[in-house]
Amino acid sequence: MQLNPLLEPIALQPHLSIDELEMRYRQAKVPAERSQLQIVWLVAQGKSTEEAASITGYNPQWVYQLICRYNQLGSEKFIDKRHKNLALHFIRLLTQVNASSTINDDFVQEGFFSELRANSTYLTLL
């Protein structure tokens, strides 16, 4: 009989203690980072990936992949870095500018927003 890895507790590398994981999870401000830390914290407590997925609402396979990434990369490098992605902020800004029919004059400096509008079609194709 072959065991299902999603139903069995997966061993975590001892990058952080359970208490450190809980503290980081509770202090996390970015939602994606908070969710990932919660998952690792739950698995560190002995929950299976299936149980952690059920508690957090994620797919068990994704939870398993997250734990494998945590084990491989360590506590600092596995965390989601999307909120630090400058290109993503630029695209969000373009979306806001395109959606707005008027822009506050305080923000229009050196033609920045007109340049954003001019290039927004090109950037949305990327």
Tell me the pLDDT of the chain (126 aa) as tens digits.
Answer: 445 666 667 889 989 999 999 999 999 888 888 999 999 999 999 999 999 999 999 999 999 999 999 999 888 777 766 556 666 566 666 666 666 545 555 454 445 555 555 555 544 444
85 phi and psi, to 5 degrees? -80, 110
Give the Cα separation of 88 and 104 in Å (integer). Answer: 22
Residue 75 confidence (pLDDT): 83
